[in-house]
Amino acid sequence: MRIKGVHYVLCRMELAAPIPLSCGSLTHRNFGLVRVETEGGITGWGETSINFPPWTYRERAATIEEGLAPLLEGEDASDVLRLRDKMVAATRPFTRMWSEGAIAQAISGVEMALWDARGKELSQPVASLLGGICRKEFDCYATGLRADDPVRGALDAINDGYRAVKIRVGFGDDKDIAVARAVREAIGPDIALLIDANQAFDLPRARKMIGLLGEVDPYWIEEPVLSDDFEAQARLRSEFPDIAFAWGENAFRLSHYRHVAEKGLADYLMPDPCRGGGMGTALDAARIANAEGLPVSAHHYGSDLGFAAMLHIMAACERSDLVLRDVAAAPLRDDIVVEDLVPVGGKVTLPDGPGLGVTPDEKVIAATQFKF
């Protein structure tokens, strides 16, 4: 299964209304796909996260096609982890002089495509290749609630069967508190309310906000401070022993997972197979969390191709928790693959079939591919 080519395919759609996050607004949804072609005719597909910063969708083309593809052409695609390690070794110095996250996210998309090809070659789902399937059905929480009316968005999600919803904060303290109170008031005490700060706060502000947000009984508070500010996380951990913290979507080193898990700095760990270095690394991170008794709630914010990959991680990890489901209006997210992965009654099932178990919709991809 010699590799013939590694290609980056950008699909994008303009949003009817921008999606605000504390680190900036999304005016488009960009989905970075990776296609690995082999001489035997098997094609593997992966996804690289390209949400932020806004120019990332251009950078990723160069990183994958000029930086990584030449390392892989002519190699045996079956050697997934060896090739992952080859990409990591070749780019290691650049993680200091340039961007660790960008490189890890590029490697993620390529590594995922290699797993998909390997699964197709062996007629096995990737989760089986990664060690085995612990479960196939998952309870989801809804994120990406309507930014113009989070209360309405939360109620819509509950109407669709979700028993857990996530709101974003970091838009101004008074507004954040008002939204959190209004959503809790509307959904009642029995629905889990997750809160994501997207690294918005410094330590003093995090202290203030966590103190106030505690009153809405959050299921977890996610990334209150910078992902690698472990000193601040340790202080928050000791000052708020009754608050559960979630962490991990912006971690690009397994040593950081080990540190957070061993020190108990977070309660839920969130490896992202499109970001942290690929599916193998995401499962390594999940196993580190599980070894310390911590559940995993894998992260994904992209198309349903990457969502399928995230489900394979959740299927293969022994101790898992809720699964993230983006419910924002972004039809291309769902349409990129033929299979329907939209949760029913708040539950989603691991797709059947070899590899990732999903079929990229070539017509949709051709129609929405953005060339630059």
| Residue whose entry in the numeric block shows the structure tokens 């080519």 | 5
**326 contributes a contact to Mg ion by CB under 5 A:** no
What is the per-residue binding string for Mg ion in 149-188, x denoting contact by CB under 5 A?
Answer: ----------------------------------------
How many C-beta neighbours within 10 Å does residue 27 have?
11
Contacting range for Mg ion; rule: CB under 5 A; set: 36-44, 190-198, 234-242, 324-332: 190-198
Distance (Å, whole) CA 187 – CA 166: 12
Tell me how many residues contact Mg ion (CB under 5 A): 2
Quote the least distance from Cβ 251 to Mg ion, whole Å: 12
Q: Which is nearer to Mg ion, 138 or 247 (CB)?
A: 247
Q: Which is nearer to Mg ion, 222 or 361 (CB)?
A: 222
Quote the least distance from Cβ 361 to Mg ion, whole Å: 27
Q: Which is nearer to Mg ion, 30 or 199 (CB)?
A: 199
Quote the least distance from Cβ 275 to Mg ion, whole Å: 11
Distance (Å, whole) CA 139 – CA 317: 15
Quote the least distance from Cβ 270 to Mg ion, whole Å: 7
Encoded amino acid at 142, one letter = A
Q: Is the peptide bond before 273 cis (omega within 30 degrees of 0)?
A: no
Query: Quick one: tokens of 269?
Result: 């760990």
**Which ranges of 63-200 does DSSP label H, i.e. alpha helix?**
69-72, 80-91, 94-97, 100-122, 126-129, 150-159, 173-187
**Coil vs helix vs strand at 238:** helix
CA distances from 318 to 131, 168, 260, 350 (A): 10, 28, 19, 15
Of 196, 326, 335, 361, which lies in the binding site for Mg ion, with binding defined by CB under 5 A?
A: 196
Q: Which is nearer to Mg ion, 116 or 196 (CB)?
A: 196
Quote the least distance from Cβ 184 to Mg ion, whole Å: 19
Distance (Å, whole) CA 208 – CA 235: 13
Within positions 222 to 261, which residues make up the interface with Mg ion, using CB under 5 A?
A: 222
Contacting range for Mg ion; rule: CB under 5 A; set: 16-24, 105-113, 150-158, 220-228: 220-228
Distance (Å, whole) CA 237 – CA 294: 15
Quote the least distance from Cβ 151 to Mg ion, whole Å: 20
Q: Which is nearer to Mg ion, 272 or 284 (CB)?
A: 272
Distance (Å, whole) CA 220 – CA 140: 14
Distance (Å, whole) CA 235 – CA 176: 22
Contacting range for Mg ion; rule: CB under 5 A; set: 16-24, 81-89, 221-229, 312-320: 221-229
Quote the least distance from Cβ 324 to Mg ion, whole Å: 8
Residue 370 phi/psi, 5° resolution? -110, 120
> Do β-strands 347-349 and 137-143 pair in parallel, antiparallel, or remain unpaired?
antiparallel
Q: Which is nearer to Mg ion, 42 or 183 (CB)?
A: 183
Quote the least distance from Cβ 76 to Mg ion, whole Å: 36
Quote the least distance from Cβ 246 to Mg ion, whole Å: 8
Residue nearest to Mg ion (CB): 196
Encoded amino acid at 146, one letter = R
* β-bridge mates for residue 344, sequence order: 347
Q: Which is nearer to Mg ion, 45 or 138 (CB)?
A: 138
Q: Which is nearer to Mg ion, 99 or 227 (CB)?
A: 227
Q: Which is nearer to Mg ion, 196 or 321 (CB)?
A: 196
Residues of this chain that bind Mg ion (CB under 5 A): 196, 222
